[in-house]
Structure formats: structure tokens, C-alpha cells
A and B are shown apart, each in its own frame.
Chain A
Amino acid sequence: MEFEAVIGLEIHVELNSATKLFCDCPNNPGDEPNINTCPVCLWFPGEVPRLSRAALEKAALLCLGFNAELQPRSAFDQKVYYYPDLPKGYQLSQAHLPLSRGGWIDIADEDGTPKRLRIHHIHMEEDVAKLVHEMEGRLPISLVDFNRAGAPLVEIVTEPDFRSPHHAMEFLKALRTQVRYVGSSECSMENGTMRVDANISIRPKGTNQMNTKVEVKNMNSIRHVGDAIAHEITRQSMAVTAGESVVLHTRLWDPDKKVTLPMRAKFEGPCVPDPMVPEIILTKQEIEDLRARLPEMPAVRAERFVQQYGFSAEEAIYLSSDPEVAAYFEAVIKDGVAPRTAMHWLTTQLIPAVKDRSQELAQIKVTPARFAALLKMLSNDEINANAAREVLAQLFDSDEPPEAIVSAKGFKQVSDRGALDEMIDKVLGEQAAAVADFKSGQGKAMGFLIGQVMQASGGKANPKIIRELLAKKLV
């Protein structure tokens, strides 16, 4: 029997608001343990939670970025369970009245056709503390770091629209891009600011059955989500083929062995409305004001890049997938660089160089203005591509304008026809064999001769003019 998978995702995104969700503590979980705590997030007696407006706005913008419907009324509930990472016996989450309902992300299917994957709802909740298990002599102890307790999270719960690991991975990539665009989170699975659980069931292909699902957790990269789903589909298909039934449970992905393994069930009770955190009421006007703050989203921007700059869809999507790259690109062309030149040099030279140096585009000394100045010298034939690459390398460590570096290093391209004529004549005199090859119809000899002239000029000659002059002389 041929099976198809029915997959839904639950994605936790840690918001990057300055403070925690219910107090003014810095939202920096990675700091020295228990530095970012206060009586509110440690839930001392008599303390009252205070919902952070900034965190709420980050969450709301994230929802709007997915075309979700912000709810005029949403509220917090208590998810009750007892565990040392939870400082009050319940987690504040939105179980009954979530912040938004609906929404979607469009991706390209395996064969390139567009596919819309729907979101069921998005709700807010607080993160829990971090447990560190250690040995004190022979005694096992657990230490609790409350820096993360109360950090703001949103949980994005999708519809079971996914059929393959590809769908899940493309959805997560697009989700990450969109959340970065609205500026609500870094969405890094590696750093734990995005955590993904996948619910997977299988059914005979072509049917509408909804069978028992298995939840898979503990994937720490988008790649692993794909691998874990693929493994789980195979595992369930084999089990069902062998006549076993799938039971509802949770499994953990083991990235080393590349298998999913069952985990012990965690007790969870129903959620009761929280009597302390007031309802969130969003008026139509507030929702419209938030919508006005939404940046141009990646899909819209990519489409504009195709229309405006004549890029291919692939080029446009690549360029718009990171809001910083897209903004950098547009700043460069605003300074008068041709879009194609800017795109080419940004994606093949600048971004790899930034990565090599482990830096961030926003922090480098190569500002869009300096990069544009460099590219304009290239376009005006003042320097050649080799020189441009060398100058670019220097721009990372120097505050001098690119023009000054070009002059100082003598990179100015030799376009003086008289000087080039002399060099060419000298080379032609020395390379009689190559001249003969070219004349006998071997076109590649031209390239060799250009190279020789370049060498003679110390790399500064304008290759376009060399070619032009050579062609005349070799007729």
C-alpha cells in the first residue's frame, strides 16, 4: 500500500523584546544565571504580572506578517503542572482565546508549484526556566536558571496541510524569513529561539483519514526537522505494513543516530482562565496601526525586484530572503549602481566575505555608500574586477574611501590606448606561436594573449580595450 503523510507543526518562537513578558527584567536568557530575575518572574507572594506592551506588539506584528486575523479579544490561561522549571505551578499561555487565528505561508512544492500552508492559530505564552543537572560529589543535583523564566514566546500552530519533509522545511525557512522581516525574533533553531515540534500521521494515499499522530521533538535545525519527519514516516509506514497500530505518544529525535525514540509522557492538565492578567482588547484602530508598521514582506518584495530590476524569480527570492541584505542592496542601487552589478557583487563577493569574517552585514565598515563607490569605479572602467576584489578586501579593515585606496595602491586601470599599443606590440613580438595559433583559427589563443598583456601591465590594463586593440592588430 502506498502511504501519504499528514503533518502539522507547532513552532515556538522566542520574541526579541527588550523585557520579559510579565515583568521588566531584561530578556537575555544567556546572561550569567539568575541575573535577570525579579520578585515578579520568581513569583514571590503578593506580586502581580504586568503584560509587556512591547512583547504584545512584537507578537501581534508577527501574526500580521502571516496574514493572520488578530483577535479583538484574547486572554491568558493557566497550564497547570508541577516541575521545578515552572516557578508557580502553572504556565501562562493562551489556550482558549489565542492572539490570532488563521494565516498562511506560501511555499514552492517539490516540483515548483506554489502551495499554501495554513496556520490554525498563534498564541502567546511565557517560557520556563532552564534546568542544569550536575553532580555534587556523588550526589546528582539540579540547578535552576530563571533568566529564561517569563521570556516571551509565541506558538504558531499550523493546520495539518503538510505532506512531506520538503513542505515542513520550506515552511520553516519562509517562516524564519518573515519573522526576521517583521523584526520579532532571530528565529534560530541552533540558538533555541525557534523550536519545532512535528505531529505526524500516515494514511493510505488518496484517502481523507485522520489517523493517530505521533509528536516528534528535539530537532535543532531545519535540516533535522526534515530528517526526523522522513524517518517517522518510514517508521510508521513499516509498522502499519507489519500490522502494528500507531499509538499516540511523543518521540525525541536523536540527531546522532538519526532515529526518533519514544519519550516518557508528561502529565498535563486542562487550562483554566487566569484571573490576574487582564484580557487583551485590540480595537480595529489599534490593529490597523500595527498593520501600518508592517514592513514590505519578502514575497511582495521579491515580486517587486522581478518587476523593477528585471531579476529572475530565483535571484529576487534570494536577494529578499534576508531583510538586511535586501535593504543593503537597495541602498547601493540608490547610489547609482546598476541593479545587476550590485546584485552580482553583493551575492558573490560581499556576502561570502562577511561570512568568512564571521561578521554581520549591519556592522561591517563596508557601508552601502562605500560599496557603491567601489562598484561605480568598476562600472566606469576606472578599475578592473581584480582590482575591485582587492580593494573590497581592504575596505573591511580601513576607513579610507575606496578612491583613496585605488590611488594609493595604483589600481587605476590603464585605458591609455597609446601605452597599451606599445605593450601589445611587445607581447605580439614575443608570442609568435600564439599569434600563429590564432590566425589558424584557434580562438582560445586570444585569451592567452590578453592574459599576457594584462601581466605586462601589472594587472592594471583595461581588458576590454586590450581585446579591442588585439582584434584590430590580428586581422
Chain B
Amino acid sequence: MDSIFFYRNSEKSNDSGKGALQKLKVAVQPNISVKGWPTEAGSAALADFKALEDAVVAERLSGQGANIVGSVKMSEFGFGLKGSQAGCALAEKSADAELMLDVAGEARLAAARAGVYGFKPSYGLISRIGLVGLIPSMETCGILAHNIKSIRDILQTIAGHDERDFSLPDEKMPDFSSQKIDPKKTTLGIIEEVLKDLPSGKRKVLEKELEDLKKAGFVIKELSFPDYSQFMLIHQIVGSVEASSCTGRYDSVRYGRRAPGAKNWNEMYLQSRGAAFGTLLKSYLFQGAFFQFERYNAYEDACRLRAQLVSEMQKLSAKADFLVFPTHNPAASGTVDSLADLYEQFVYTAFANVTGQPALHIPSTVDAGFQIAAKRLDDGRLLDLGDYLLSHRHGGKS
């Protein structure tokens, strides 16, 4: 049995001979629809489900000559990395890039695990058509690759208006093309509260990175964000409520497996949904239902606080061009058995899902590497900084 791939494309490769992504081998996850491919999103809820049509991202990739080589094993509905082989196809070179949903930081964490670049674009750039999601207001399609060029090429291919997805904000597409970074004119911010709570080993590594960036000429600024710890809390509440609704459609009425022997529709729901979801996801959905039905006020407060955090983050962005964050190293964690274990991994990534801003994981040979983030729709500039770091770090070798 294939240890990395859930499904491999057995058809001949895309040889259209044109397009920006010619010969690029791209892996996806089975929650990104490719027509006719099993699209189970890592869940028994979608056992044997085959995509009826291509996701817009898949259609656009193929349209630019990319080869979609297969789908990689994933966690249930892409929440966390339990059971996921994300990034492994890149490590073993069976793919040049990989697309996966970033729900709470998964694309960046998988990149950290695989030692590659992992990018979460701004919210609202990429069509949702054909993406089997979990938290609509927080997730977007992430991109993993060995270099920034591939990420930029893929972003330029998949981002942009889609007449079928009305959920995309009606705004002008930013310019993603490559531009030069001048370190002396670039301010990098680091949030005190993040640095302060880092374990000392991890903190030393990050401080060394900042030291190197300073030497390269960047202006480094320490900024305060007293409410930083609220990001995870808001993600937990709002995200779980959305996930609870979003999975409501997996009821075995129209598709999916129906548990046999139910005496009435209520039993049918309980038994079929009970069998469809794994323990970890179930506890997440319970949590969402709890906030929705039993603590609705807390949910409303969380929505308000979310808007507040977004505006605080915008104010911070006025003080620095980019922010630097650590990345949790999933390889360093033990087994993930509870939601608490899961959340621990998202502490440095969830902020970008809550605000919708872009974030890029930069791999490193020391520890897991780190993240840089920009303000929403500054994706092109963030990739410029990534490019600069790719070519200038570690004495110029990359």
C-alpha cells in the first residue's frame, strides 16, 4: 500500500505544451476535487465519494500545464495533521508542489515538518468551488513548494475572480509579480508577547534568525499585542461553530453511508453521523454545537472580538511591513489525542486564519524554521521577502 498517496493519477501526464506550470508535478489532498477522483476528505463521512467536477484550483492548474500527480493522505477534513502525509511527496521528490487547505495552520506546519516553504494566501483570493472545507471563514488553499517561484507561479494561476464563487470579496486582485526587496527600507516586527512565551530553546533560535536579518540590514521592531493569546481562543470558538454547521450535510440522506437498523430518522442521524466521524473531529464538532446551543453569547462575543483583533492587527501592520512568527515543529510533538494537543500546534499559526492575512513558512536547517506574515492582500510582497530570504540566508547559499 502507498504510504504517502491516497490516490495516484494513472492517466498520462498533462502535455498540453503550454502554460506557466508546464512539467510542474503538483500533489493535492483528497478534499480538493479532481473530477472522478475519490474525494473522501480523510473521513468515513465521504467514503467512496468521487468528485463530480474539478475544483477551480485543479482546473486552473491543469489549464497552465501542471501535472496533478495524485492526492496525499490527509487528516479528517484537513483539521490538524493527524494521519496526514502532507509535504512528504515533496520530501521524496514525487511532487514539486502540493496544495492543501490551511484551516488553522496545517499548510505551514506540514511545510515545517517536510522542510519546505509553506504559504497560506490571503483570505478571499482563491475560489472555494470544489474545496471540501471545514471552516469557511478561516480556511483557504495553501501551497507547499521547494522554492518561492513555484509558489508564486501557482498563486498567480489559481488566485483570482471566479464567476461561480460569490463568496470571494468583490475587490481588485493585487499584483503578485516579483519585486525587489530593499532590507534597509523594510521593517520586520516581532510581537513581544509571542517571543516572551516561547520555550527558551526555540526563543534562542528565533532570536538568532532576527539577529541575522538585522545584519542583512532589515529594521527589526519589537511590537506589543497584549491580546495575542485571544487568537487561538477565537479560532476555537468561531471555528468549531462553523465546522459543526459545515459538517451538517453529512447526514447519509443524499450520499455517504447510512448506518443500518435505525428505527426512525433521529436514530438514523445519530448512528450514521456517529459512525461517520472520528473521535477527534467529533469532539471538535461537539464543542461547536456546545457554543452554538449552550453558550451562544460567548460565540457572539467571539465574533465581536474577532473583528477587534483584525483591526488591532491592522494597526500593528502600520508599524511594520512584515511580522515574524515562530513555527511549531509538529515533529517535536507527541501523539495528538485531544483537541488540546491539536491547539498546541496552532498557537503560532491560527492568527492568520482568524485575520485572513497571508503567512509564509520559511524552512531552516535549525529547528523548524519560522513564519513571516503581511497584511491582507500583500501576498506578492510577502513572497518577495520570502524570495530575498531564500537567496540571502545562510551566507547566500540556498
Residues of chain A touching chain B, judged by Cβ–Cβ distance below 8 Å, are 39, 42-51, 78, 80, 82-84, 87-90, 142, 144, 146, 269-270, 272-273, 275-278
Question: Given A39-B52, A272-B241, is A45 in contact with B249 using a C-beta cutoff of 8 Å?
Answer: yes
| CA distance in complex: A48, B126 (Å) | 13
| B-chain residues with CB within 8 Å of residue A47 when the two chains form the complex | 129
Q: Is the CB of B292 within 8 A of A80?
A: yes
Q: Is the CB of B46 within 8 A of A45?
A: yes
Q: Is the CB of B131 within 8 A of A269?
A: no
- Considering only residues 99-157 of chain B, those with a C-beta below 8 Å from chain A are 128-133, 136-137
Highest count of chain B CB atoms <10 Å: which of A43, A44, A80, A269: A44
**Contact residue among A48, A80, A142, A278 (Cβ-Cβ distance under 8 Å from B245):** A80
**Contact residue among A82, A142, A275 (Cβ-Cβ distance under 8 Å from B251):** A82
| B-chain residues with CB within 8 Å of residue A88 when the two chains form the complex | 248-249
| B-chain residues with CB within 8 Å of residue A270 when the two chains form the complex | 292-293, 296
Q: Is the CB of B248 within 8 A of A275?
A: no
Question: Given A78-B245, A80-B245, A275-B137, is A45 in contact with B39 using a C-beta cutoff of 8 Å?
Answer: yes
Complex A-B, nearest 9 residue pairs according to Cβ-Cβ distance, in ascending order: A89-B248, A275-B137, A88-B249, A275-B136, A45-B132, A43-B249, A46-B130, A270-B296, A269-B293
Q: How far is the CB of B353 from chain A (nearest CB, A)?
A: 12
| CA distance in complex: A82, B250 (Å) | 11
| B-chain residues with CB within 8 Å of residue A48 when the two chains form the complex | 128-129, 164-167
Q: How far is the CB of B274 from chain A (nearest CB, A)?
A: 13
At the interface, yes or no: B33 with Cβ under 8 Å from chain A? yes
19 contacts between A and B (CB under 8 A): A43-B249, A45-B31, A45-B46, A45-B132, A46-B39, A47-B129, A48-B165, A80-B244, A80-B245, A80-B248, A82-B251, A88-B249, A89-B248, A90-B245, A269-B292, A269-B293, A273-B303, A277-B166, A277-B167
| A-chain residues with CB within 8 Å of residue B254 when the two chains form the complex | 42-44, 87, 146
**Contact residue among A45, A49, A89 (Cβ-Cβ distance under 8 Å from B49):** A45
Q: Is the CB of A272 within 8 A of B249?
A: no
| CA distance in complex: A87, B296 (Å) | 24
Which chain A residue shows the least CB distance to B273? Answer: A82
If A84-B253, A269-B292, A272-B299 are given as contacts, then 18 extra A-B residue pairs at C-beta distance below 8 Å, sorted by A number, are A43-B249, A45-B41, A45-B46, A45-B132, A46-B130, A48-B166, A78-B245, A80-B244, A82-B269, A83-B265, A87-B253, A88-B249, A89-B247, A89-B251, A146-B254, A276-B167, A278-B166, A278-B169
Question: Is chain B's binding surface mostly helix, strand, loop or mixed?
Answer: loop
| CA distance in complex: A199, B189 (Å) | 59
Q: How far is the CB of A93 from chain B (nearest CB, A)?
A: 13
At the interface, yes or no: B387 with Cβ under 8 Å from chain A? no
| B-chain residues with CB within 8 Å of residue A276 when the two chains form the complex | 128, 136, 167
| CA distance in complex: A84, B251 (Å) | 8
Highest count of chain A CB atoms <10 Å: which of B55, B241, B249, B293: B249
At the interface, yes or no: B44 with Cβ under 8 Å from chain A? no
B interface bracket (residues with beta carbon within 8 Å of A):
35 or more
| A-chain residues with CB within 8 Å of residue B129 when the two chains form the complex | 46-48
At the interface, yes or no: B98 with Cβ under 8 Å from chain A? no
Q: Is the CB of B167 within 8 A of A87?
A: no
Q: How far is the CB of B11 from chain A (nearest CB, A)?
A: 21
Highest count of chain B CB atoms <10 Å: which of A51, A142, A273, A277: A273
| A-chain residues with CB within 8 Å of residue B130 when the two chains form the complex | 46
Highest count of chain B CB atoms <10 Å: which of A39, A42, A88, A270: A88
Which chain A residue shows the least CB distance to B55? Answer: A46
Q: How far is the CB of B273 from chain A (nearest CB, A)?
A: 9
| CA distance in complex: A226, B164 (Å) | 46
| CA distance in complex: A7, B132 (Å) | 46
Which chain B residue shows the least CB distance to A45? Answer: B132
* A interface footprint on B33-54 (CB within 8 Å = 1, 0 otherwise): 1000001010000100101100
Q: How far is the CB of A92 from chain B (nearest CB, A)?
A: 11
Q: How far is the CB of A73 from chain B (nearest CB, A)?
A: 14
Which chain B residue shows the least CB distance to A39? Answer: B52
| CA distance in complex: A270, B303 (Å) | 15
Q: How far is the CB of A275 from chain B (nearest CB, A)?
A: 4
| B-chain residues with CB within 8 Å of residue A45 when the two chains form the complex | 31, 33, 39, 41, 46, 49, 132, 249
| A-chain residues with CB within 8 Å of residue B131 when the two chains form the complex | 46
Q: Is the CB of A142 within 8 A of B166?
A: no
| CA distance in complex: A42, B128 (Å) | 17
Which chain B residue shows the least CB distance to A85? Answer: B253
**Contact residue among B41, B248, B265, B303 (Cβ-Cβ distance under 8 Å from A142):** B265
**Contact residue among A46, A50, A90, A272 (Cβ-Cβ distance under 8 Å from B166):** A50
| B-chain residues with CB within 8 Å of residue A43 when the two chains form the complex | 249, 254
| CA distance in complex: A89, B128 (Å) | 20
Which chain B residue shows the least CB distance to A47? Answer: B129
